[in-house]
Structure 1
Amino acid sequence: MKKLLFIFLVTITTVANAQTAIPKSATDIAPLLIGEKIPGITLKSAENTAVQLSDLLKEKKTVLVFYRGGWCPYCNLHLQALAEAEKQILAEGFQIIAISPDAPANLKMTEEKDKVKYTLLSDSKGELIKAIGIAYEAPENYKSVINVHSNGVNTNFLPVPSVFVVNTENEILFEYISPDFKHRISEELLVSVLKNLK
């Protein structure tokens, strides 16, 4: 009987660990699909205050951007391009929210460096990034960088750069997910998508 109980507990533990394990590479992720809902998880603002994501998403249709961090030059170029396209995006009735594993203090630096007026949020623990299914195990050469930029909270994961267009019910209307972090959706294509989603 003890042996059966032991086997049962080992099986349950293995299944639980398999469900919480993050993929080894960016090409192994299993993101949420169009029609599914973005979970309403609490994140941190640049001012280090708690922000309920679902409250923000209720306000307006949203372009929800996930980036690796303010240390990533490709992310900075993407954030700057979004800042330049923000007037067009707002004109189509959407807000922009960008999320990374960076600590709140580092969001402030990114806002200033990239001239960002839209909302940046911190998901240093990766609760939302993992729930959406875009987290993967960071390569060794990134682990010290992400550790520093998350103030020691994140030591092992990165988000695959992604853009989700979400309605006020948290439902995904469109997504662009690129396992190659050097490739991002252009602002022209994004604005075109938004025009077609009206």
Structure 2
Amino acid sequence: MRLFHVVVATLFCLISPLTVAASATNIFDAPEQVSPLLPGLSLPAATLKNSQNESITIKTLTEGKLSVLVVYRGGWCPYCSRQLAGLQKLEAKLAALNAQVIAISPDAPEQLAKSTIPNPFYTLLSDDSLAFSQALGLAYYLDDKTALAYRNKMGVNFVALDGTEKVALPVPAVFVVDKNGLVQFQYANPNYKVRLNEAVLLAAVQAASEI
């Protein structure tokens, strides 16, 4: 099995043999140190994959469309699953604003296909190399104790990164991106247990829709 630089979690401890290569160029040492992309800046270019392992560019998905980008840690994370399920409450209101939801995680494409969220109205994409999370300034290394606990207690599988046992994840974040590809709103919290209030998100999308 090839070593890959950022190992992603499996759903329900189902471990896939597929690995990918990645470059660790912008990964912070702790979640508190991340530097998320600021409002007013353009969304970075990236090519991700869907659950069918098809390559999709962020530009293609977001060009000319009001978009909500949700970066989450993986389908193994209960806080992330709860957040994504909660977004379904906003489906009708977001649709009325012509806003789409794009959810991105380090899960591999085949793991996305195992999502337990029923009938998601959003697009699920894989950033299994964490390249996009790095470009967004969200990637950080887990400390050894946390990485070990995730592997042993939660079934998160990982292998060596750059010859070490370090593991990286994204800080959960939400970006509202206007039709021109500019970030109009950003929320990122190093405390993965605290997620963006749905009413605040809706207000941000409403404001961006008027630009």
Which of residues 147, 153, 168 is equivalent to 2:158? Answer: 147
Q: Which amino acid aligns with 1:169?
A: N
CA-CA distance at 1:114 after TM superposition: 4.5
TM-score (norm 1): 0.81
The structure with the largest helix share of the pair is 1
Which of residues 117, 121, 125 is equivalent to 2:125? Answer: 121
- Tell me which residue corresponds to 2:32: 27
CA-CA distance at 1:79 after TM superposition: 0.2
Which of residues 100, 112, 121 is equivalent to 1:107? Answer: 112
- The number of equivalent residue pairs is 173
- Give the ranges of 4+ consecutive aligned residues of structure 1 lying more than 6 Å apart after TM superposition: none
Q: 2:55 & 2:158 partners in 1: Cα distance?
A: 21
Q: 2:35 & 2:203 partners in 1: Cα distance?
A: 26
Indicate the SS of the match to 2:76: coil
Q: Which amino acid aligns with 2:47?
A: T
Q: 1:102 & 1:162 partners in 2: Cα distance?
A: 16
Q: 2:30 & 2:66 partners in 1: Cα distance?
A: 31
Residues 1:40 and 1:71: Cα distance change in structure 2 (over 3 Å): same
TM-score (norm 2): 0.76
Answer with 1 or 2: which has the greater Rg.
1
RMSD: 1.9
- Tell me which residue corresponds to 1:68: 73
2:176 and 2:204 in contact (8 A); partners too: no
- Tell me which residue corresponds to 2:13: none
Q: 1:84 & 1:146 partners in 2: Cα distance?
A: 32
Residues 1:45 and 1:183: Cα distance change in structure 2 (over 3 Å): same
CA-CA distance at 1:106 after TM superposition: 1.2
Q: What is the percent sequence identity of the aligned residues?
A: 39
Deviations 1:173-194 (A, max 9, x none): 0001111000111222211222
1:83 and 1:115 in contact (8 A); partners too: no
Q: 2:206 & 2:36 partners in 1: Cα distance?
A: 24
Residues 1:63 and 1:133: Cα distance change in structure 2 (over 3 Å): same
Q: Which amino acid aligns with 1:101?
A: P
Residues 1:92 and 1:146: Cα distance change in structure 2 (over 3 Å): farther
Q: 2:99 & 2:188 partners in 1: Cα distance?
A: 19
